[in-house]
């Protein structure tokens, strides 16, 4: 990509936003927080992957999915299966009736490892599966829905049903999945203890690095012709169709991309938190993730990250201060967000900060026309 | 065969000794006062826990929001009551207990996050908390990694024995074997229908029950599981009517109980006639509040504590509990077990002469509590409690009448051989 090409994908103001976020995540947070808090931030950032996918699907493509937890969960479970197999070596599980299989299988009278667990002995397979399994799943849903022009509210309801179905499946098949408890007590990755403070620092930085890769990928989509088409589809789907585009293919693509982002988040979650449970797959967490995206501003990639951080930080600190009333405080926050700034944090930024930054940028160099706004507002 | 002796005369002699010691220690402690104790904070706390000259911080970690809040609130109340009472007696090693309460929000990952916060950030000396097995499984690696101490109150499936946990509820064999023996001996039961909610505790419990029933040469005529929150039990009730078991062994959990017992009654099964007899290990007085005494009357429950237990300890406990939390409140098995947590911790700290986790771990086995509402309990080397098992008969007013208790304390056996 030439320099000019690069510039058109990442205009000056966006570049500034990315740089500020990088400084915040890579310098300010690690220097100002102990490892416990930093690990929490790392956990929040794994949800940011989902919110990022939602910005593309919902904010740009107009596809509201209330089942992103499904993909987060699939990614997380793939990673958890690998880690669990490593933690269940015959040495560590010798008190079981069948040593060498995960503990919950032993409790459920399974005597050998089910066939679909076998490939998860391999890290390479696992890493591929983390992205491919959810993407293929999203592809099938996408084909089934979008080719038949199912959209809008109906699509949202169906994704919600999927989240409910997968939760019930995981809980019901506890011998194969760990049931309600989830897959717990994950210890090492290829012999590397993921529970140590050092590992948590490294995982945090790996997480931030991957988040930035996803941010750049999303930015690329947003600025490319595909991004324009998505906005066009969101506004007037018929016109795009009449112009000769196969609308459903674009929708399927962006839905799969959102699923892949979510799955990466899920896998990073498992690594940093040390377990995976069906409570991330269901309807409630899926809707929560939409809220992160809405608070950040559903048209802003960086907003998704800030929104996720803000909501989760509020959740943690409210619940630490008022263990019995914190849910009300969270409710209050959401109502305030919707009433006071419906376009989320990004909307606030755009109204109050962006004009000044533009002026400052313009003054800094020779006067020239303003660059395109980073947040294509609908108004 | 089922029970072992904890040492037949020991409780009494040790009680006497303890009272004497207490009487001697009281004036001595008053003379020594704070200054003497305060000087030793560095000694009693060598690992940097939140202990000062006059206070010690502990954590309370239960769900006070979400679906589990109904069940876990009783435990929070019991733990707060115990802490109040201990503080009124002068605290632990002369230090008042201060608690930090965190909400697990009925969400296992939140439990893990909050337990880490309590151990790493707040450096609490002990945590009283968790209720469901799932929440315990989620926090267990955290407690083991950061070396914390968890007092876990719920009766559960066993298959676990962590040095960082004291299990103050019964593990599955303690609760199950005595109950089945009782219905076989007293009621002449020959066939059983096993029923449960679909997760690890009911499944493991029924596995133990089935093995035990088959060992006795009797028959299990059916075994079925339904998802948590399931409310349609008509088909299984029809099957039960068809198979005519002597006993319905029910481990239905949470809200499903309401539907199950109402539908049982609606289907014409009158539990007071005991044909079939209903034996449960999952319905405490707390659950009956939701089910309604009229729907539960006649059923039997097998657990270690009932509110109606007739002894002086329990009378005092119930009175104090009602004085603090309101006179209409009911107290179930788990609430009582939660109440034991702070007391057992206090005893361990005093025995060890230190708040250090490793010393408490080492000091815990053998700790006795003669003041427990359920009677005498003692910590086994496997960190579970020796306790008696009792059979309660559900009454119309939502209380259980105790109809049987094991003569001896049941030995906790979280990895029962021959039952796996």
pTM of the model as a whole: 0.85
Architecture of the domain spanning B10-170+309-387 = 3-Layer(aba) Sandwich (3.40)
Q: What is the pLDDT of residue B298?
A: 95
DSSP assignment of B152-187 equals E-S-B------TTEEE-S-BHHHHHHHHHHHHHHHH
Judge contact between A79 and A130, C-beta under 8 A. Answer: yes
Mean pLDDT, rounded, for B89-114: 93
Q: What is the pLDDT of residue B19?
A: 52
| Superfamily for domain range B172-303+392-405 | Response regulator (3.40.50.2300)
- Cα(B148)–Cα(B60) distance, rounded to whole angstroms? 13
Single out the residue of A44, A50, A43, A42 nearest to residue A70, CA to CA. Answer: A50
Top pLDDT among B420 and A38 is at: A38
Contact A181 B204 (CB under 8 A): no
| Structure confidence at residue B2 as a pLDDT band (50, 70, 90) | very low
pLDDT, tens digit (0-9, with 9 covering 90-100), for A215-233: 999 999 999 999 999 999 9
| Structure confidence at residue B1 as a pLDDT band (50, 70, 90) | very low
Is the CB of A279 inside 8 Å of chain B's CB atoms? yes
Residue A348: CA count within 13 A, CB half-sphere:
14
Answer whether residue B10 shows pLDDT above 90: no
| Structure confidence at residue B11 as a pLDDT band (50, 70, 90) | very low
Segment of B65-69, B70-74, B273-277 carrying the highest mean pLDDT? B273-277
Interface with chain A: mutation pick from B64, B100, B109, B198, highest number of A CBs within 10 Å = B109
Q: Which of A180, A187, A274 sits opposite B199 (nearest CB)?
A: A180
Domain ranges across chain B: 10-170+309-387, 172-303+392-405
pLDDT, tens digit (0-9, with 9 covering 90-100), for B321-349: 999 999 999 999 999 999 999 999 999 99
How distant is the Cα of B123 from the closest Cα of chain A, in angstroms? 12
Q: Which two tokens stand for residue B329?
A: 């409140």
Q: What is the pLDDT of residue A4?
A: 57
- Cα(A165)–Cα(A157) distance, rounded to whole angstroms? 12
Mean pLDDT, rounded, for A335-355: 84
pLDDT, tens digit (0-9, with 9 covering 90-100), for A148-207: 998 889 999 999 999 999 998 998 888 899 988 899 889 899 999 998 889 999 999 999
- Cα(B162)–Cα(B357) distance, rounded to whole angstroms? 13
Residue B384: DSSP 8-state: B
Report helix, strand and coil shares of chain B as percent, to nearest 5: 45, 20, 35
Residue B117: DSSP 8-state: I
Q: What is the pLDDT of residue A372?
A: 52
Residue B89: DSSP 8-state: T
- Cα(B66)–Cα(A12) distance, rounded to whole angstroms? 46
Q: Please give the mean pLDDT across all residues of chain B.
A: 89
Residue B278: DSSP 8-state: E
Is the CB of A316 inside 8 Å of chain B's CB atoms? yes
User: How many other CB atoms are there within 10 angstroms of residue A72's CB atom?
Assistant: 31
Q: What is the pLDDT of residue A352?
A: 85
Q: What is the pLDDT of residue A368?
A: 52
Answer whether residue B65 shows pLDDT above 70: yes
- Cα(A257)–Cα(A214) distance, rounded to whole angstroms? 10
Answer whether residue B78 shows pLDDT above 60: yes
Side by side, the strands of the sheet bearing B375-379 are B368-372, B375-379, B385-386
Q: What is the pLDDT of residue B17?
A: 54
For B234, the 3-state DSSP assignment is helix
- Inter-CA distances, B134 with A39, A73, B104, B171, Å: 22, 17, 12, 15
Matching fold, domains B10-170+309-387 and B172-303+392-405: yes
Is the CB of B108 inside 8 Å of chain A's CB atoms? yes
Single out the residue of B384, B270, B396 nearest to residue B337, CA to CA. Answer: B384
Single out the residue of B146, B143, B150, B148 nearest to residue B129, CA to CA. Answer: B150
Chain A residues inside the 8 Å CB shell of B110: 319
pLDDT, tens digit (0-9, with 9 covering 90-100), for B38-47: 447 888 999 9
Across B281-388, the runs of DSSP E, i.e. the strands, are: 300-303, 368-372, 375-379, 385-386
Place of tokens 């005494």: B293
Answer whether residue B200 shows pLDDT above 90: no
The rounded percent of chain B whose pLDDT value lies above 70 is 90
Top pLDDT among B194 and A179 is at: B194
| Structure confidence at residue A263 as a pLDDT band (50, 70, 90) | very high
Weakest-pLDDT range from A88-97, A264-273, B291-300, B330-339:
A88-97
| Structure confidence at residue A369 as a pLDDT band (50, 70, 90) | low
Chain B residues inside the 8 Å CB shell of A323: 64, 101-103
Chain B residues inside the 8 Å CB shell of A92: none
Is the CB of A36 inside 8 Å of chain B's CB atoms? yes
Contact B109 A319 (CB under 8 A): no
- Cα(B61)–Cα(B45) distance, rounded to whole angstroms? 23
Weakest-pLDDT range from A98-112, A188-202, A275-289, A355-369:
A355-369
pLDDT, tens digit (0-9, with 9 covering 90-100), for B374-389: 999 999 999 999 999 9
10 Å CB burial of residue B394 (0-12, 13-18, 19+) is: buried
Mean pLDDT, rounded, for B231-249: 94
What crossing angle do the helices spanning A197-223 and A301-321 adopt, rounded to 10°?
A: 140
Chain A residues inside the 8 Å CB shell of B138: 181-182, 184, 275, 277
Contact B199 A171 (CB under 8 A): yes
- Inter-CA distances, A168 with A135, A164, A179, A278, A282, Å: 21, 6, 9, 9, 9
Judge contact between A227 and A221, C-beta under 8 A. Answer: yes
Q: What is the pLDDT of residue A367?
A: 53
| Structure confidence at residue A2 as a pLDDT band (50, 70, 90) | very low
Chain A residues inside the 8 Å CB shell of B105: 319
Weakest-pLDDT range from A30-39, A347-356, B375-384:
A347-356
SS (H, E, C) chain A: CCHHHHHHHCCHHHHHHHHHHHHHHHHHHHHHCCHHHHHHHHHHHHHHHHHHHHHHHHHHCCCCCCCHHHHHHHHHHHHHHHHHHHHCCCCCCCCCCCCCCCHHHHHCCCCCCCHHHHHHHCHHHHHHHHHHHHHHHHHHHHHHHHCCCCCHHHHHHHHHHHHHHHHHHHHHCHHHHCHHHCECCCCEECCEECCCHHHHHHHHHHHHHHHHHHHHHHHHHHHCHHHHHHHHHHHCHHHHHHCCCCHHHHHHHHHHHHHHHHHHHHHHHHHHHCCECHHHCCHHHHHHHHHHHHHHCCCCHHHHHHHHHHHHHHHHHHHHHCCCCHHHHHHHHHHHHHHHCCCHHHHHHHHHHHHHHHHHHHHHCCCCCCCCCCCCCCC
Interface with chain B: mutation pick from A97, A180, A278, A330, highest number of B CBs within 10 Å = A180
Q: What is the pLDDT of residue A371?
A: 52
Answer whether residue B21 shows pLDDT above 70: no
Place of tokens 């509201």: A64
Judge contact between B277 and B183, C-beta under 8 A. Answer: yes
Beta-carbon contacts of B392 under 8 Å, excluding residues fewer than 6 positions away, are B300, B301, B302, B303, B306, B308, B400, B401, B402, B403
Segment of A313-327, A348-362, B341-355 carrying the highest mean pLDDT? B341-355
Beta-carbon contacts of B83 under 8 Å, excluding residues fewer than 6 positions away, are B58, B97, B99, B342
| Nearest residue of A to residue B141, measured between CA atoms | A185
Contact A36 B109 (CB under 8 A): no
Q: What is the pLDDT of residue B14?
A: 53
Answer whether residue B281 shows pLDDT above 70: yes
| Structure confidence at residue B409 as a pLDDT band (50, 70, 90) | very high
For B354, the 3-state DSSP assignment is coil
Is the CB of A185 inside 8 Å of chain B's CB atoms? yes
Chain A residues inside the 8 Å CB shell of B107: 279
Place of tokens 């001697």: B24
Query: Is the complex ipTM more than 0.90?
Result: no
Is the CB of A275 inside 8 Å of chain B's CB atoms? yes
The rounded percent of chain B whose pLDDT value lies above 90 is 77
Q: What is the pLDDT of residue B89?
A: 95
| Structure confidence at residue A77 as a pLDDT band (50, 70, 90) | very high
The rounded percent of chain A whose pLDDT value lies above 90 is 60
- Cα(A259)–Cα(A307) distance, rounded to whole angstroms? 19
């Amino acid at each position: 990509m030439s320099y000019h090409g690069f510039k058109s994908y990442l205009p000056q103001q966006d570049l500034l936003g990315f740089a500020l976020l990088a400084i915040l995540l890579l310098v300010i947070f690690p220097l100002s927080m102990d490892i416990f808090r930093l690990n929490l931030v790392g956990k929040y950032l794994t949800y940011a992957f989902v919110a990022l996918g939602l910005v593309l699907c919902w904010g740009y493509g107009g596809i509201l999915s209330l089942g992103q937890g499904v993909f987060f969960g699939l990614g997380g479970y793939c990673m958890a299966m690998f880690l669990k197999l490593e933690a269940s070596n015959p040495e560590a599980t010798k008190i079981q009736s069948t040593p060498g299989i995960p503990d919950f299988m032993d409790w459920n009278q399974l005597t050998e490892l089910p066939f679909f667990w076998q490939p998860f002995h391999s890290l390479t397979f696992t890493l591929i599966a983390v992205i491919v399994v959810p993407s293929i799943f999203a592809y099938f849903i996408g084909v089934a829905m979008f080719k038949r022009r199912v959209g809008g509210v109906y699509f949202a309801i169906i994704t919600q049903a999927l989240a409910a179905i997968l939760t019930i499946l995981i809980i019901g098949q506890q011998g194969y999945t760990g049931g309600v408890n989830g897959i717990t007590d994950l210890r090492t990755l290829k012999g590397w203890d993921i529970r140590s403070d050092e590992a948590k620092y490294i995982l945090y930085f790996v997480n931030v690095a991957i988040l930035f890769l996803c941010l750049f990928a999303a930015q690329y989509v947003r600025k490319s012709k595909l991004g324009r088409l998505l906005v066009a589809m969101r506004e007037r789907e018929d016109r795009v169709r009449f112009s000769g585009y196969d609308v459903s293919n674009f929708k399927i693509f962006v839905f799969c991309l959102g699923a892949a982002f979510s799955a990466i988040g899920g896998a990073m979650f498992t690594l940093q938190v040390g377990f995976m449970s069906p409570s991330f797959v269901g309807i409630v967490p899926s809707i929560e993730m939409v809220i992160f995206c809405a608070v950040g501003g559903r048209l802003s990639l960086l907003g998704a990250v800030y929104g996720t951080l803000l909501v989760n930080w509020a959740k943690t600190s409210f619940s630490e201060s008022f263990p019995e009333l914190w849910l009300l405080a969270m409710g209050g926050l959401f109502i305030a967000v919707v009433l006071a700034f419906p376009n989320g944090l990004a909307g606030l930024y755009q109204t109050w900060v962006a004009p000044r930054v533009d002026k400052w940028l313009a003054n800094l160099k020779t006067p020239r026309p303003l660059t395109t706004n980073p947040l294509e507002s609908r108004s | 065969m089922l029970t072992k002796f904890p040492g037949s005369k020991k409780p009494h002699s040790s009680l006497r000794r303890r009272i004497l010691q207490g009487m001697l220690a009281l004036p001595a402690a008053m003379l020594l006062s704070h200054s003497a104790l305060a000087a030793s904070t560095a000694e009693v706390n060598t690992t940097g826990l939140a202990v000062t000259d006059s206070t010690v911080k502990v954590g309370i970690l239960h769900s006070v929001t979400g679906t589990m809040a109904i069940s876990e609130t009783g435990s929070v109340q019991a733990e707060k009551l115990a802490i109040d009472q201990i503080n009124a007696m002068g605290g632990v090693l002369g230090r008042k207990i201060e608690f930090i309460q965190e909400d697990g929000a009925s969400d296992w990952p939140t439990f893990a996050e909050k337990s880490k916060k309590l151990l790493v950030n707040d450096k609490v000396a002990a945590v009283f908390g968790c209720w469901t097995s799932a929440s315990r499984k989620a926090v267990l690696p955290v407690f083991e990694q950061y070396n914390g101490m968890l007092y876990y109150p719920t009766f559960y499936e066993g298959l676990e024995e962590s040095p960082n946990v004291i299990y103050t509820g019964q593990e599955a064999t303690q609760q199950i074997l005595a109950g089945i023996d009782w219905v076989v001996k007293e009621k002449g039961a020959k066939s059983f229908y096993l029923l449960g909610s679909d997760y690890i505790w009911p499944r493991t419990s029924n596995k133990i029950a089935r093995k035990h029933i088959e060992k006795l040469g009797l028959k299990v005529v059916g075994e079925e599981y339904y998802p948590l929150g399931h409310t349609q039990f008509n088909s299984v009730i029809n099957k039960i009517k068809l198979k005519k078991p002597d006993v319905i062994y029910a481990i239905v959990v949470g809200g499903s109980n309401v539907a199950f017992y109402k539908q049982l009654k609606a289907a014409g099964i009158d539990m007071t006639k005991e044909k079939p007899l209903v034996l449960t290990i999952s319905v405490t007085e707390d659950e009956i509040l939701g089910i309604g005494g009229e729907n539960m009357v006649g059923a039997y429950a097998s657990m270690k504590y009932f509110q109606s237990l007739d002894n002086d300890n329990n009378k005092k406990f119930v009175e104090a509990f009602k004085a603090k939390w309101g006179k209409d409140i009911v107290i179930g098995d788990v609430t009582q077990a939660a109440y034991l947590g702070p007391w057992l911790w206090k005893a361990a700290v005093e025995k060890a002469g230190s708040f250090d986790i490793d010393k408490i771990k080492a000091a815990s086995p053998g700790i006795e509590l003669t003041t427990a509402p359920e009677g005498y309990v003692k910590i086994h080397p496997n960190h579970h409690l020796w306790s008696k098992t009792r059979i309660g008969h559900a009454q119309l007013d939502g209380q259980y009448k105790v109809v049987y208790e094991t003569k001896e304390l049941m030995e906790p056996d979280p990895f029962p051989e021959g039952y796996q």
